[in-house]
Amino acid sequence: MASNFEPKILAFSCNWCSYAGADMAGVSRIQYPPNIRIIRLMCSGRVDPVFIFQSFLCAFDGVLVLGCHPGDCHYLVGNYHTEKKMNRVRKLLEIVGIEPERLLLDWVSAAEGARFAQIVSSFTEKVKDLGPFRKDGLEQGLEAAKATVQSERIRWLLGKELDLLQEGNVFGEKLSSSEIDLLIDTALKDEYLKNLVSLILEEKPLSCKEIASLVGLSPMAISSYLIDLEESGEVSLHGFEGKTPKYIAG
């Protein structure tokens, strides 16, 4: 890593606490690294997971999400949803092949200018240690991850996570945290792999075995994804090479 590397960091800050904390740091003339670019939102709960993957597609080296302390959210449970969503995003980052440490979620109150500066300084140093983010070879995975968190299935699960914990499903059955984690993590991986297969087939027609080799799964597993993608109209049979069927996106 070059010793003069200065990371580009995108920060999402809630209006009521962390953005005000940044203002407090400025008013108090507390020094912190100038590496961050801040986007203000009304609540950290409005940080869509799509924003995170798009940030890395735009070649930011790290992403910082700052909200109100738990229990102090202006919208009651906004930061609860933030924490749950960012935990899922970290898992997807790992699947794509990106260090999850490049994403940090933390809490800052309006009066904590010094804490804001400390978090920015600490995160900047961590990203420096990780080195520059190089998206070469990861674009397809990032696009698949972005499509995953945009899917109706995943948006519904992430939006209903609190309800499933507190109120249960349509039958009144409450799910444990571990059951919900397994449910959502399995859905994330399935949707990601389906989207990745679809993106791979946008480039050229491939057989099930060829796709399996690229993705690192068994042909049987890829076959089940192809069936789902064919049913949804995202993938179609392109033709045959000998007796081997080849598929293409669209």
Strand, helix or coil for residue 62:
strand
The chain-wide mean pLDDT, for the chain, equals: 94
pLDDT at position 212? 97
User: Using CA atoms, how far apart are residues 189 and 217, in angstroms rounded to an integer?
Assistant: 12
Local confidence band at 250 (pLDDT 50, 70, 90 cut-offs): confident
The answer to whether 103 and 93 have CB atoms below 8 angstroms apart is yes
| Distance of alpha carbon 124 from alpha carbon 128, whole angstroms | 6
Question: pLDDT-derived band of residue 243, with 50, 70 and 90 as boundaries?
Answer: very high
Q: Is the pLDDT of residue 142 over 50?
A: yes
How many helices (H) does the chain have, and how many strands (E)? 9, 6
**What is the per-residue pLDDT across 83-120, written as a single tens digit (0 to 9) for each?**
999 999 999 999 999 999 999 999 999 999 999 999 99
The two structure tokens encoding residue 67: 């909200």
pLDDT of amino acid 4: 87
The stretch 60-66 carries a mean pLDDT of 98
Distance CA 203, CA 219 (A): 19
Q: Is the pTM of this model over 0.85?
A: yes
pLDDT score of 49 more than 90: yes
* Model pLDDT for residues 148-192, shown as the tens digit of each residue: 999 999 999 988 888 888 887 778 888 888 988 999 999 999 999
Q: Averaged over 29-57, what is the pLDDT? A: 96
* pLDDT, tens digit (0-9, with 9 covering 90-100), for 185-227: 999 999 999 999 999 999 999 999 999 999 999 999 999 999 9
The CA distances from residue 236 to 86, 202, 215, 226, 230, in Å, are: 34, 11, 19, 9, 6
What is residue 1's predicted lDDT score, i.e. its pLDDT? 45
The reported pLDDT for the residue numbered 3 is 64
Residue 18 carries which side chain, given as an amino acid letter? Answer: S
By C-alpha distance, which of 140, 154, 152 is closest to 211? 140
Residue 56 CA to residue 82 CA, distance in Å, equals 19
Q: How many CA atoms lie within 13 A of 50 on its CB side?
A: 9
Q: Is the pLDDT score of 26 beyond 90? A: yes
- C-alpha 77, offset from chain centre: 20
Residue 238 phi, psi dihedral angles, 5° rounding: -90, -35
